């Protein structure tokens, strides 16, 4: 059974079909990138996969559960237990330190554990910046805190929305290396991006246009390492 | 973690929280000031209204009939008297706390040395009473006739002189006629004895009393051998304005149903207080001095209503202020709240966090507002009544409950907005 399966998924806003009969699957441990131009439906798909929205029609099976039929309360619980979210804008709570931001995800999941949170920061190379506020961190560092926060509850899927959109090349490489490490450890990754260099790193690349999947390309030369042109 | 988040919000958004605290403080201060004044206003207005004199008169039943038939006054005319020994019972009736002052009167026609007679009235001046309830009361005409102007000497101090001392006060007209001044002596002869009374004060009452002599009750009783007897009692009582029920009861309490009777009896209508006085003073008829009784009650009711309206309006204002500020705060933090929901916070957890922040701010604002309100109450007390307002402990829980209710009511729109907030919309748009 696939970890994630979208069957005949539509998202319709009035006349607009943001997603139009989308079908695809993601296997456990797979690294998939979803790319497409602005307005192609990437964010809509991310919202649906991330249990932050429901499709107008179709089935979205996450670990065998059709999340399209779940209540808002259950979707929150599924999101908390199975999905780690990474955002382009980082969305760190600016009055909490790096370690507290990581602990926030633990707090809403189970129990905050500072030791575990520090270990997560260590994994992303930020052990020395644990007590810093987001305003005292660079964009790359903030994104790594965001990755640590997404990892802390060992989710089934890491769902990243334009994770390198606000980063320079150096930090982009650091974040992609982190994804590579996570993939090696068996984490399932879905990365939504419009950056071809980031998209091409993944094992499989899905291209969206006008709400439809126009291409699904398997990376034959998968290394998990970014190559800048 | 929860406390870290609360602390973080309070410190980070201190300006907004200060505004919320200030709004709550303003509402709480007005509420506590108005409530303090409202609860104390009875005493204050009562002190003011005491200057209007008594609003209930009590006479013997027989004298009452004669009064109505022939318009004559005094037990002498009817031969009926009230018993002085029963005076204390007036402060034992159901509405005892509404009886703020009273004085007995005995009238005697005493002869002066020149053979002329003069009406001599015996009464209490500042008679001190320690009641069975533990209450202490200084009752008498010093406060019941507070409009009298003392033109010479001073008010007769009964507590200093005693209630059968050979002292008196006389009216200006009589003083002029007799050529007497404060400190002079008057020799009075009654049917049973004669007394020489030292004049301690001369008053100007602006009426018939200016031709009369006022002396301690027992002194005057001794002149005519009326020991333990009094002609009438004047009572100053705090009353509720009459309504249809009170008017019906005043005509005939027997016409009321049991429940109507209970309602009437347990409401401070002048007629109910009169009825209760009649119950404790043997063979008496108590009747309201209608105009005074009505105006006293009406003034008090209107004053209280005004206070309640100001309190309600100030609380509505505070609720609207809180509503705007909290809504603005939630809107400003929408991405933070969206993030919390995205990483697994249920609506209850996020609402709890926001409400805790607001309630903590409300507690600070409420405490500051309470003390500020106490200060406002003192300003009102000194400006309007010329004395300080007593802070009643009951104001504290009432203000606390009002602050909580107003804060929660003011937070409802923000909480509704928070519950409707979808993480997808605030974290990266809906498309």
User: What is the tens place of the pLDDT at every residue in B60-114?
Assistant: 988 766 565 555 554 455 578 999 888 888 888 888 888 888 999 999 999 998 8
Within 8 A of B428 by CB-CB distance, chain A residues are 43, 46-47, 87-89, 161-162
The pLDDT value recorded for residue A217 is 86
The pLDDT value recorded for residue B231 is 92
Q: Do B428 and A81 touch (CB under 8 A)?
A: no
Q: Do A79 and B342 touch (CB under 8 A)?
A: yes
Query: How many secondary structure helices (H) and strands (E) does chain B include?
Result: 16, 14
Tokens standing for B344? Answer: 């697994």
Of the listed ranges B189-203, B212-226, B350-364, B374-388, the one predicted with least confidence: B374-388
The pLDDT value recorded for residue B51 is 59
Q: Do B12 and A94 touch (CB under 8 A)?
A: yes
Q: Do A107 and B339 touch (CB under 8 A)?
A: no
Strands laid side by side in the A65-66 sheet: A16-26, A4-13, A57-62, A65-66
Within 8 A of B11 by CB-CB distance, chain A residues are 95
The pLDDT value recorded for residue B430 is 41
Q: Any chain B CB within 8 A of the CB of A73? A: yes
The pLDDT value recorded for residue B119 is 93
The pLDDT value recorded for residue A229 is 54
Does position B300 have pLDDT exceeding 80, yes or no? no
Within 8 A of B345 by CB-CB distance, chain A residues are 76, 108
Residue with tokens 């001369």: B202
- Contact call for residues B304 and B38 (beta carbons, < 8 A): yes
Q: Do A108 and B343 touch (CB under 8 A)?
A: yes
Within 8 A of B429 by CB-CB distance, chain A residues are 43
Residue with tokens 């705007």: B324
Provide the pLDDT confidence category of residue B216 given band limits of 50, 70 and 90.
Answer: very high
Question: Tell me: the pLDDT tens digits for B121-142?
Answer: 999 998 888 877 777 788 899 8
The pLDDT value recorded for residue B76 is 52
Closest residue to B431, CB basis, from A44, A109, A162: A44
Q: Do A105 and B344 touch (CB under 8 A)?
A: yes
Please check whether residue A228 lies inside any domain of the structure: no
The pLDDT value recorded for residue B431 is 39
Which domain, by its residues, includes A126?
Answer: 4-218
Please check whether residue A225 lies inside any domain of the structure: no
Complex ipTM value:
0.86
Q: Do B345 and A76 touch (CB under 8 A)?
A: yes
Residue ranges for chain A with pLDDT beneath 50 = none
Within 8 A of A41 by CB-CB distance, chain B residues are 431
Which CATH number do you get for residue A14? 3.40.50.300
Q: CA of B405, closest CA in chain A: separation in Å?
A: 28
The pLDDT value recorded for residue B185 is 92
- Contact call for residues B282 and B253 (beta carbons, < 8 A): no
Mean pLDDT of chain B: 84
The pLDDT value recorded for residue B429 is 46
Task: Give the SS3 label for residue B198.
Answer: strand
Does position B3 have pLDDT exceeding 70, yes or no? yes
Please check whether residue A171 lies inside any domain of the structure: yes
Please check whether residue A86 lies inside any domain of the structure: yes
Please check whether residue A223 lies inside any domain of the structure: no
How far apart are the C-alpha atoms of B245 and B268, rounded to whole Å?
12
Which ranges in A152-201 belong to alpha helices (H)? Answer: 169-184, 196-199
User: Once rounded to an integer, what is the mean pLDDT over residues B410-428?
Assistant: 84
Please check whether residue A173 lies inside any domain of the structure: yes
Radius of gyration of chain B (CA): 32
Q: What is the enclosing helix (H) or strand (E) of A18?
A: strand A16-26
The pLDDT value recorded for residue B167 is 92
Please check whether residue A22 lies inside any domain of the structure: yes
Q: Do B346 and A94 touch (CB under 8 A)?
A: no
What percent of chain B has a predicted confidence (pLDDT) above 70? 91
Q: Do B344 and A109 touch (CB under 8 A)?
A: yes
Reported residue count of chain B is 431
Within 8 A of A52 by CB-CB distance, chain B residues are 342, 422-424, 427
Instruction: Compute the half-sphere exposure of residue B323: CA atoms within 13 Å on the CB side of its CA.
Output: 13
Please check whether residue A179 lies inside any domain of the structure: yes
Domain count, chain A: 1
User: Once rounded to an integer, what is the mean pLDDT over residues B144-164?
Assistant: 86
What percent of chain B has a predicted confidence (pLDDT) above 90? 21
Does position B246 have pLDDT exceeding 90, yes or no? no
Closest residue to B343, CB basis, from A39, A73, A85: A85
């Amino acid at each position: 059974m696939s970890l994630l399966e979208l069957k005949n998924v539509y998202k319709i806003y009035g006349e607009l079909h943001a997603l139009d009969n989308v079908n695809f699957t993601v296997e456990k441990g797979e690294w998939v990138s979803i790319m497409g131009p602005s307005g192609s439906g990437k964010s809509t798909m991310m919202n649906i996969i991330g249990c932050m929205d429901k499709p107008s029609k179709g089935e979205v099976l996450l670990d065998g559960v059709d999340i399209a039929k779940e209540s808002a309360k259950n979707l929150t619980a599924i999101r908390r237990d199975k999905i780690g979210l990474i955002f382009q804008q980082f969305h760190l709570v600016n009055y909490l330190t790096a370690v507290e931001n990581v602990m926030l995800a633990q707090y809403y999941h189970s129990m905050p554990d500072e030791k575990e949170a520090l270990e997560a920061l260590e994994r992303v190379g930020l052990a020395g910046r644990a007590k810093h506020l987001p305003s005292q961190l660079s964009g790359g560092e903030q994104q790594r805190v965001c990755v640590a926060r997404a990892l802390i509850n060992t989710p089934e899927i890491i769902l990243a929305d334009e994770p390198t959109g606000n980063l320079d090349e150096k930090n982009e490489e650091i974040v992609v290396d982190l994804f590579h490490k996570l993939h090696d450890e068996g984490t399932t990754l879905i990365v939504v991006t419009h950056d071809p260099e980031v998209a091409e790193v993944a094992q499989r690349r899905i291209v969206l246009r006008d709400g439809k999947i126009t291409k699904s390309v398997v990376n034959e030369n998968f290394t998990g390492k970014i190559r800048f042109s | 973690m929860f406390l870290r988040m609360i602390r973080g919000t309070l410190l980070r958004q201190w300006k907004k929280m200060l505004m919320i605290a200030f709004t709550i403080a303003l509402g709480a201060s007005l509420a506590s000031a108005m409530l303090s004044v409202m609860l104390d206003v009875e005493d204050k207005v009562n002190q003011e209204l005491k200057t209007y004199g008594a609003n209930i008169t009590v006479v013997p039943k027989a004298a009452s009939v004669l009064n109505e038939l022939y318009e004559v006054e005094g037990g002498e005319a009817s031969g009926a008297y009230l018993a002085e020994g029963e005076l204390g019972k007036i402060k034992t009736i159901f509405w005892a706390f509404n009886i703020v002052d009273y004085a007995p009167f005995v009238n005697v026609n005493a002869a002066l040395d020149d053979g002329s007679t003069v009406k001599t009235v015996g009464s209490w001046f500042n008679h001190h009473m320690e009641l069975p309830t533990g209450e202490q009361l200084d009752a008498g005409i010093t406060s019941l006739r507070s409009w009298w102007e003392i033109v010479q000497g001073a008010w007769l101090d009964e507590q200093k002189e005693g209630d059968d001392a050979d002292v008196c006060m006389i009216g200006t007209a009589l003083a002029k006629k007799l050529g007497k001044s404060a400190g002079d002596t008057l020799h009075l002869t009654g049917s049973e004895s004669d007394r020489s009374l030292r004049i301690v004060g001369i008053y100007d009452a602006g009426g018939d009393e200016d031709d009369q002599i006022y002396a301690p009750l027992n002194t005057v009783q001794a002149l005519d051998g009326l020991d333990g007897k009094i002609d009438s009692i004047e009572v100053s009582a705090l009353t509720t304005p009459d309504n249809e029920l009170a008017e019906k009861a005043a005509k005939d309490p027997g016409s009321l149903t049991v429940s109507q009777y209970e309602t009437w009896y347990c409401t401070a209508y002048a007629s109910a207080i009169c009825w209760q006085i009649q119950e404790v003073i043997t063979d008496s008829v108590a009747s309201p001095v209608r105009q005074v009784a009505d105006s006293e009650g009406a003034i008090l009711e209107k004053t209280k209503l005004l206070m309640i309206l100001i309190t309600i309006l100030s609380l509505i204002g505070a609720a609207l202020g809180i509503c705007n500020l909290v809504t603005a705060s939630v809107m400003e933090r929408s991405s933070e709240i969206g993030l919390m929901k995205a990483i697994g916070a249920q609506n209850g957890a996020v609402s709890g966090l926001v409400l805790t922040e607001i309630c903590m701010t409300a507690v600070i604002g409420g405490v500051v507002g309470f003390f500020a309100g106490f200060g406002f109450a003192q300003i009102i007390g000194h400006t309007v009544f010329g004395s300080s307002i007593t802070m009643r402990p009951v104001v504290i829980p009432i203000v606390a409950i009002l602050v909580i209710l107003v804060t929660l009511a003011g937070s409802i729109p923000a909480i509704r907005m928070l519950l409707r907030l979808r993480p997808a919309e605030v974290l990266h748009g809906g498309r």
